[in-house]
Amino acid sequence: MSFVFQPPSAATVPVTDGRSFPVHRIYCVGRNYAEHAIEMGHTGREPPFFFMKPADAVLPVAEGDLGRMAYPPLTQNLHHEIELVVALGSGGRDVPAERAAELIWGYAIGLDMTRRDLQNEMKKQGRPWCIGKAFEHSAPIGAIHPKATTGELTRGAITLDVNGQRRQTGDLSDLIWSVNETIAALSRAWTLAPGDLIYTGTPAGVGAVMAGDTLVGAIEGLGELRLAIGAE
């Protein structure tokens, strides 16, 4: 085939076994922990809703590394959202929740980095969130742990520290919509495919980070994701 220009290589995320996981799409779940929904001014009892980031928004951080995210343009209120990321190894449509776990290939720790000031402005105007959510490097992610080694993750602590101070804390069992229910709901709206990543929502305690901050996210069974904000 003759291309107009060389097609870009796929975005990838390292796997703990040394291989790479090619990213197809990034789905994100909004307000999926009750306390976070309440802190954002909602009831915590809404049906699940979704937004997306481009696949090349991933900022992969290998196990044991300190990743680095440049402070993005246009914002003065860059927020952290620590999230369990589910990596799909197979896809489908209209997947029942009882079979959804079969699609899961692995899990990772992710950060849904958000230009909150821009997102809030878009919300106020009834406009799309893309400028607040779907910018470059807005999806830092640690190594993917195969489900074959972790088992199905349905509980366990999820935390985020900034400069050694605990900011966010929750438990995967607090998800309003479980991973399986989320996969089922997504598959009614989109055709899920191998390589899809699902950022499953963040617990309470979101807040701003500044250049020079160091973030450490942790999920029981998945180790840590370490990220420095700002240029070296």
Binding site for Mn ion (CB under 5 A): 81, 112, 202
The smaller minimum CB distance to Mn ion, of residues 15 and 36, is found at: 36
Q: Which residue is nearest to Mn ion (CB)?
A: 112
Minimum separation from the CB atom of position 182 to Mn ion (A): 12
Residue with smaller CB distance to Mn ion, 32 or 180: 32
Do 29 and 181 form a contact (C-beta atoms < 8 A)? no
What type of residue is 1? M
Q: How far is the CB of 202 from Mn ion (least distance, A)?
A: 5
C-beta of 112 vs 196, nearer to Mn ion: 112
Q: How far is the CB of 121 from Mn ion (least distance, A)?
A: 18
Strand-strand pairing, 114-115 and 78-80: antiparallel
Whose tokens are 């807040």? That residue is 207
Query: 95 or 160, CB closer to Mn ion?
Result: 160
Beta carbon of residue 114, minimum distance to Mn ion (angstroms, whole number): 7
Distance CA 54, CA 73 (A): 17
Residue number, 15 or 30, with CB nearest to Mn ion:
30
Place of tokens 């079969």: 102
Least distance between Mn ion and beta carbon 52 (Å): 12
